[in-house]
Amino acid sequence: MKMLGAEVVIECLKAEEVDIVFGYPGGAVLTLYDALFKTDFPHILTRHEQGAVHAADGYARATGKTGVCFATSGPGGTNLVTGIATAYMDSIPLVAITGQVGVSLIGKDSFQEADICGITTPITKHNYLVKKIQDLPCVMKEAFYIARTGRPGPVLIDISKDVFNDTLDFVYPETVCLRGYRSLFAGDSNQIDLVIEALEKAEKPVIFVGGGVNLSGTAEEVRRLVDVTGIPVISSLMGLGCIPSDASEHLGMVGMHGTYAANMATIDCDLLMGIGVRFDDRVTSLVQNFAPEAMIIHFDIDPAEVNKNVRADFKVIGDLRWSLPLLCEKIAERNMGKEQWARADWVGLVQEWKREKPLASSLPAGGIRPQAVIEKVSELTQGESIIVTDVGQHQMWTAQSYNFNAQRSFLTSGGLGTMGYGLPAAIGAQITLPEKNVILFTGDGSIMMNCQELATLADNGLPVKIIVMNNQVLGMVNQWQRMFYGKRYSHSSTKGCTDFVKLAEAMGVAGLRVTKSEELDTVLEKALKMKGPVLIDVLLPETEDVLPMVAPGGRLDQMVLRGIIG
Amino acid sequence: MKYTLAVLVENRPGVLTHISGLISRRAFNIESIAAGPTEEVDTTRITIGVEVEDEFELEQVVNQLSKLVNVIKIANLTYVDSIQRELALIKVRANKANRSELVDVVEIFRAKIVDVNRETLVVELSGEESKIDALCEVLTDFGIIEIVRTGRIAVSRGPVAAKDM
């Protein structure tokens, strides 16, 4: 049957089992939007293209499915850039579809023309410019295949306006033929035997889990591994949720704002088994001083991750859905007790570190402790919620203080650190998981970077609870200025006329405010019970630091444990 | 250390952008890059000369390039017995007085003169990069107007093709 190119796109989305698209219309995608109208395909209109791409990202992180967003040519496409880069850094499966000017106008600096393929080349797993309708079905098939297989990532398809208006006898290809693309699943199982031998010899082993576990949905295998061996676990920001935050083996997040126990264990361990991690600089600090005594084992799906930042002694390349069950199976075959895998003196030492220096606040009594806000929400939700954050101090406090206990329950921009990510990502998560509590922790800086999406939230009746950790400063910048720039607070104050409660109300979101610590619990309890979207403006002291902190370039055991106040 | 990689890619629009984009983004130190069609219609072969600190950095270059969807195969020709060549065209000042001297130099290098006029001539030389460097240096004395070099290409000796390595 003859079909318009725009209809072909919709048919391909159906074939890929896409159930919703986030987007914003414009000149080059009018025919595509007309097809959406005619087919009644589910679509959420955000208020900015950046909102659309982050929403698709939040949808993907919460479910593991591929997120899809639409934008028009030129500024539509360029507004996606930050969101695509965010997804790329955190390996999120995403397909972004942009309109492009007509074929004859390409390269002529036409109205709303931008070379979005050129622009997004370094931040996509792959991208396509479609100038002929004959190529469209195949490109769509390949794009979804590439986005979700192997190490996931964003793929952009730039489709000329002419292609949407052209017609084709549509047949969706059943297979892809990509000569240069291999999505590796199973690797070399001999490597796993070597890993087990090394684990047997180790006296002070540590397991280090990362975003790869969340992405592959292998938290259960990690928990089995820890149950059987009792080996202490540390987590990257992206790995939180793989193992319950309050599990006794869990030492917490490692790195710049890692816990005392996790950072000390990294410096002292003699074997560090990284699972789905990329040894980011916020984890390792100065790479030469990272786990200096340890043999490094690296499990990853991407061969290019091994030896990129930290040299691995053993590598297990392959999908964690292949390697982790096999590792668990082979470990079970050994019939060894916990005390043989994780010696009592080592376990005792790390538990001592955990007790000795738990996370602390440096604030004098009186004001609302930001950590208390998160602890209260954690208690009220029992770890059953989807927690979303923006970027900055509140993000680190959430990572440190919330009790996560499920994979895919923590959505945050880890690699790129994108302020403004949180609200649209929460929208994407809530749409696909209507039964879940979706809670956004944000800051007075971050919320303003995509606050227009409050309208999307309200107009779709999505019951996201937004907690603005309002300290009236760009907190993380302020903290660095306090610590490293002689308290010269250059342009890091947001003190002004903004009233977040009124802002929320103006867009149709209920607004509440907490100014005293006595009110905190009751307001949070009330807000979480309310049906629709709520924004809670929590006024915090200006000068609380995120601690511990490893100064840039420092060793992980050289932590600042007490803040500089004032 | 310098390495020579033979990179086989699908001949699709944007493939060179993807490769050059990756090289600049990862800050790889590329000395030369030469691309052209091959015995297979849809395949382009790119010879990349890369300078890296150590084997780990080389591993990164290869692994990162391999991740590009249109890259079919990468063969490291550094350690296999291979023939490496580059082509250069050099425009040199030449007048009545020194032309015969210049012709002598060209003959010593087994280069060819492919264009002559009253003021200049164009020398064509193919060979290893070091040979071309040497000729350029000698020709400096005569006055070089411009140099065009292709960047090195390489093929292994023996019957095995890079795609089967």
Calculate the CA A274 to chain-centre distance.
18
Confidence (pLDDT) at A563: 63
Q: Do A304 and B9 touch (CB under 8 A)?
A: no
Is A111 tagged catalytic?
yes
pLDDT of B54 above 50: yes
DSSP A506: H
Q: Which residues of A434-472 are buried (b: 16+ CB within 10 A; e: fewer)?
A: eebbbbbbbbbbbbbbbbbbbbbbbeeebbbbbbbbbbb
Q: Which amino acid is at A68?
A: V
Q: Which CATH class is domain A189-356?
A: alpha beta
* Residue to test with chain A: of B59, B61, B67, most A Cβ within 10 A: B67
Reply yes or no on whether the pLDDT at A361 is more than 90: no
The model's pLDDT over B60-101, given as tens digits with 9 standing for 90+, comes to 999 999 999 999 999 999 989 999 999 999 999 999 999 999
Domains A2-169 and A370-546 share a fold: yes
Give the pairing of strands B153-156 and B82-93: antiparallel
CB A69 within 8 A of CB A80: yes
Contact A136, A104 (CB under 8 A): no
In this model, does residue B4 exceed pLDDT 80? yes
Q: Decide: residue B117, CB within 10 A, 0-12 exposed, 13-18 middle, 19+ buried.
A: exposed
- Our answer to whether residue A112 is catalytic in this structure is yes
Token pair listed for A307? 């030896």
Residue A566, pLDDT > 50, answer no
pLDDT at A15: 97
Could you tell me the pLDDT band of residue A359, with boundaries at 50, 70 and 90?
confident
Residue of B nearest to A312 (CA): B56
Q: Of A3, A112, A357, A505, which one is the catalytic site residue? A: A112
Q: How far is CA B152 from the centre of its chain?
A: 2
* pLDDT score at A384: 87
pLDDT digits (tens, 9 = 90+) for A108-123: 999 999 999 999 999 9
Share of chain B above pLDDT 70, in %: 100
Q: Which of A273, A127, A147, A145 is CA-nearest to residue A198? A: A273
Rounded to the nearest integer, the mean pLDDT of chain A is 96
Is the CB of B57 inside 8 Å of chain A's CB atoms?
no
pLDDT for the residue numbered B23: 87
Give mean pLDDT, residues B141-162: 96
Measure A306 CA to nearest chain B CA, in Å. 9
What residues contact residue A332 under an 8 Å CB cut-off, 6+ apart? A228
Tell if the CB–CB gap between A121 and B18 is shorter than 8 Å: yes
State yes or no: is A487 an active-site residue: no
Cβ contact A21:A48 at 8 Å: no
The catalytically annotated residue of A37, A111, A185, A484 is: A111
Residue contact B14–A127, C-beta within 8 A: yes
Q: DSSP character for A239?
A: G
Residue A90, C-beta contacts closer than 8 angstroms, at least 6 positions apart: A61, A211, A238, A413, A414, A415, A416
Residue A493 has what DSSP assignment?
B
Q: What is the DSSP letter of A368?
A: -
Q: What is the pLDDT of residues A445-489, one digit of tens each?
A: 999 999 999 999 999 999 999 999 999 999 999 999 999 999 999
Structural domains for chain B:
2-76 (3.30.70.260), 84-153 (3.30.70.1150)
Fold of A2-169: Rossmann fold (3.40.50)
Q: Give the minimum alpha-carbon distance from A309 to chain B in angstroms, rounded to a whole number.
A: 10
Q: Which of A140, A476, A507, A559 is catalytic?
A: A476
Q: Kindly calculate the radius of gyration of chain B based on its CA atoms and give it in whole angstroms.
A: 19
Tell me the CATH number for domain A370-546.
Answer: 3.40.50.970
* Catalytic residue check, A542: no
Residue A1 DSSP label = -
Find the catalytic residue in A125, A141, A161, A204.
Answer: A161
Average pLDDT on A500-528 reads: 97
φ, ψ (nearest 5 deg) of residue A341: -80, -45
Nearest-Cα residue of chain B relative to residue A150: B67
pLDDT above 90: percentage of residues in chain B: 87
A282 with A255: CB under 8 angstroms?
Answer: yes
Residue A564 has pLDDT above 70, yes or no: no
Joined tokens for residue B70: 């249109």
**B21/A146 Cβ within 8 A:** no
Triad A93, A97, A103: Cα angle to 5°: 145
DSSP A271-313: EEEEES----HHHHSSGGGSSTT-EEEEEES-GGGTTTSS--S
Q: Quick check: A206 and A273 in contact, CB under 8 A?
A: yes
CA dist., res. A22 & res. A56, Å (int): 6
With CA atoms as reference, report the closest residue to A55 among A460, A452, A437, A427.
A427
State pLDDT tens for residues A28-72: 999 999 999 999 999 999 999 999 999 999 999 999 999 999 999
| Residues in a beta bridge with A251 | none
B140 touches A at CB < 8 Å: no
- The residue extents of the domains of chain A are 2-169, 189-356, 370-546
How many inter-chain contacts (A to B, CB under 8 Å) are there? 45
Q: Least CA distance to A145: which residue of chain B?
A: B69
Pull the structure tokens for residue B11.
Answer: 């001949």
Task: Write the pLDDT tens digit of every residue in A370-400.
Answer: 999 999 999 999 988 999 999 999 999 999 9
Q: What gap in Å lies between CA B27 and CA A400, rounded to an integer?
A: 34
pLDDT at A565 over 70: no
Is B163 in the A-facing interface, judged by CB distances under 8 Å?
no
Residue A116: closest C-alpha in chain B = B14
Q: Are the Cβ atoms of B10 and A179 closer than 8 angstroms?
A: yes
Residue A364 has pLDDT above 90, yes or no: no
